[in-house]
Structure 1
Amino acid sequence: MNLVELRKKLAQLKDQMRTLVELAQGEKRGMTADEDTKFTELEGQAEALAGQIKVEERAEQLAMSGAGTKRTPEDPQHETEFRNLGDFVNTVRFNPYDARLSEYREMAMGTKTSGGVFVPPQFSSKLFEITPQDALVRPRAIVVPVDEASPDASMTFPALDQGAGSNMYGGVEVNWIGEGDEKPETNAKFKDLSLTPFEVAGHIVVTDKLIRNAPAINTIVNRLFRGAIAAAEDDAFLYGNGTAKPFGAINSAAAVAVPRQTANLIKYQDIVNMIAKAKLGGALVWSASQSILPQLLTMKDEAGHLIFQPNIADKMTGVLLGYPIRFQENAPILGAVGDLVLVDLQYYIIKDGAGIFISASEHPLFKQNKTIIKAFWNVDGKPWVTAPFTLKNGYTVSPFIKLGLPTT
């Protein structure tokens, strides 16, 4: 008797036990002696069957991790659901004809994506469960969810226009109105902001022996791909040029560059000047290159106090003049424009598209008994402001501040 049959038998036993209880309850009485004897007999059978199922499940898990058991759609032992992402990847690689994959192949074809299998939502959502500690932009930005009907179609949003003749509210004017006075018209100005998800892919090479170990590959794929997704997106959302990728906040027309006082250095006054140009009142966060650490760790204010004392045990996290700071691996080197930035990412929009998709191929590395696992998804992003904000007094601020080069 295979696992499917064992589970069906256990369900039948539980139904019989439930029937005996419901019969007695329906007649508002206790169970008769015969009913009690029957219930005890069924309970014993159910406990024995449950133990047998656990043994069979363990044996099957060992078989999958060792020999890579293949199952065809006609095989009655195939499971109805994947246990985890590792089980899914193992099946894509070693048993591509498993009936469980049919639904997800159809979903991939529905998005006009070829070469990959759509990752079940319960697993793909975990890959995008990126916390503010793991990624800078996505957890803090405005994220537009996937449109299931047309996941990769372009979408147009209204973006505030802070251009000439406007103001920091896109031209919206507020007036006090006396009793009986005519209400003035407002002049809200908007521009169209179009987002079209671009495809982005990552891959990893693993041994066939490792990929047969579903629990191990589940841990590896989840951890490595989640980290790669966060790093790739942060790089594009901050520094992307908009060519076949998102348009980065730091490269946008809304960004303001604050000249540094001395080339290849970051001084206390530079940081003060950056805060002075930031649009306050939001959720500002610093993004920095690790190469500036020697400058920050020894930097003092005018009173001789260290201005940055990070939590070294927690990934060098901390605050810089009251705002949290994150060190990005793709940030420019010390002395380059943008080696230190101060951003409010509530002014950045991300549009998710189709994905994630997974494909596994052994062909390029067949002789080495290795497999290339490829994961790809679609996403776009842009700032939703078009220019720096001009305050009523004429002073200019921005949600995107970058440290620039010296003026002389």
Structure 2
Amino acid sequence: MKNLIELRKKLAAKKEEMRSLIVLAQTEKRGFTDDEETNFTTMEAESRSLEDEIKLEERAQQFAMGGSGAKHTPDDPAHESEFRSLGELISCYRSDPYDPRLKEYREMAAGTKASGGVFVPPKFSAQLFEITPEEAVVRPRALVIPADENAPDSSTTFPALDQGAGSNMYGGVEVNWIGEGDEKPETSAKFRDLTLTPHEVAAHIVVTDKLLRNAPAVNTIITKLFRGAIAAAEDDAFLYGNGVGKPSGAMVSPASITVPRKTANLITYPDVVALIAQAKLGGALIWAASQSILPQLLTMKDEAGNLIFQPNVADKMTGTLLGYPIRFKENAPILGATGDLVLGDMGYYLIKDGSGIFIQASEHPLFKQNKTIIKAFWNVDGKPWVNGPFEMENGYQVSPFIKLGVPTP
């Protein structure tokens, strides 16, 4: 028999290598180089091979146990010392909190001064934060700084572009043509300190005790629901957060520009054009919108009478608005309010991950109902990388964060 734990570790390491290549390309806003494409294709094939090997070994071990699916005892050399899934970990934490497999994860939670619970191994927590560009607006496109192993929740200071008075759209960098033998002028970029301190955030879900005993079902449901909730909550904070005990939102920051709409409670074609006109072009811009504006977008026409938004209805209403992708967010302001339609380049947003995820499960509040409350909590902070709009040489201002406002009085 092969060691399933080692096989799974190899697979996790291989996928992390693949993810690193993707993150590097996204951070640098480019596609794969030829060498990266070759490496990624090779690792992709190796991952599929490992996945097939794991499935085959799991069947072999189940057959060796008589097909009953029963676990080996801890004294058995073939006993697995790791959990197969997040669902199995949660079920074990609830039904057998003193299982020796939980000891290490309790100690890791205590080491980060988390308020109880157990640390979720990265191979499982990665599933919850493996948020695609279709699921979230900010995290997949922002610059994400991973948690420090020694002090994951400590404050971290980064240099950020200073767009204050006397600066320019390149943070004060000056470019001069120098004649032969002329003295080189002194130039210096203007930077400021940007400090990020991860804040604790928690998510809760109630499940029946009967469901909790079904580890595969729990794994599927918890992963799906928590991942969706995490994506929605983080997007809300990263876009609109007030910075008090939570991240500072890009669209309410001093760097954002508000463009007044033409008519109250309406979104018109000139409004959309005006938003693009004040956006800092050249990056990876994306629209974030309230679903309440959808009827107006679907019927909006340009001056020639052409519909400007024709989404893929079968694929969650995805599509582009004047060439830029659009995502509809449940937490966005209602039609007519400032921010019901925003346009942003999230490459100018910094996210600092802290410790977590941690899991707790408690039956006490709902004991008589045979239900359990599952709590997942983690730490994160985020702030815009710039502190003001970019001013071009001719005085015109643009920004990576643009929102539609109310009409000018």
User: When the two structures are superposed, what TM-score results if normalisation uses the length of structure 2?
Assistant: 0.83
The correspondence of residues 9-408 of structure 1 with structure 2, limited to 5 A, is: 53-54=62-63, 56=65, 58-60=67-69, 79-408=80-409
Larger radius of gyration: 1
Q: Deviations over 1:47-98 (max 9, x none)?
A: xxx968526274245x8xxxxx9x8x77988631101111111111101111
AA partner of residue 313 (structure 1): A
For the residue of structure 2 that corresponds to 1:377, the secondary structure is: strand
Cα offset for 1:156?
0.5
Give unpaired runs (5+ residues) of structure 2. 4-58
Cα offset for 1:114?
2.5
**Matched-pair identity in %:** 74
Shift >4 Å, 4+ stretches: 50-53, 73-78
AA partner of residue 198 (structure 1): H
For the residue of structure 1 that corresponds to 2:141, the secondary structure is: coil
For the residue of structure 2 that corresponds to 1:257, the secondary structure is: strand
Instruction: Sort the Cα spacing of 1:57 and 1:111 in 2 relative to 1 into closer, same or farther, 3 A.
Output: farther
Q: Deviations over 1:313-351 (max 9, x none)?
A: 000000000100000000000000000000000000000
Q: Give the conservation status (yes or no) of the 8 Å contact 1:171–1:187.
A: yes
Instruction: Sort the Cα spacing of 1:75 and 1:208 in 2 relative to 1 into closer, same or farther, 3 A.
Output: farther
Cα offset for 1:187?
2.8
User: When the two structures are superposed, what TM-score results if normalisation uses the length of structure 1?
Assistant: 0.84
Counterpart position of 1:15: none
Instruction: Sort the Cα spacing of 1:102 and 1:387 in 2 relative to 1 into closer, same or farther, 3 A.
Output: same
For the residue of structure 1 that corresponds to 2:68, the secondary structure is: helix
Greater shift, 170-179 or 275-284, is seen at 170-179
Cα offset for 1:121?
1.0
Partners of 2:110 and 2:262 in 1: how far apart? 55
Cα offset for 1:223?
0.4
Instruction: Sort the Cα spacing of 1:148 and 1:133 in 2 relative to 1 into closer, same or farther, 3 A.
Output: same
Cα offset for 1:404?
0.4
Give unpaired runs (5+ residues) of structure 1. 1-5, 9-49, 64-68
For the residue of structure 1 that corresponds to 2:235, the secondary structure is: helix
Q: Give the conservation status (yes or no) of the 8 Å contact 2:286–2:326.
A: yes
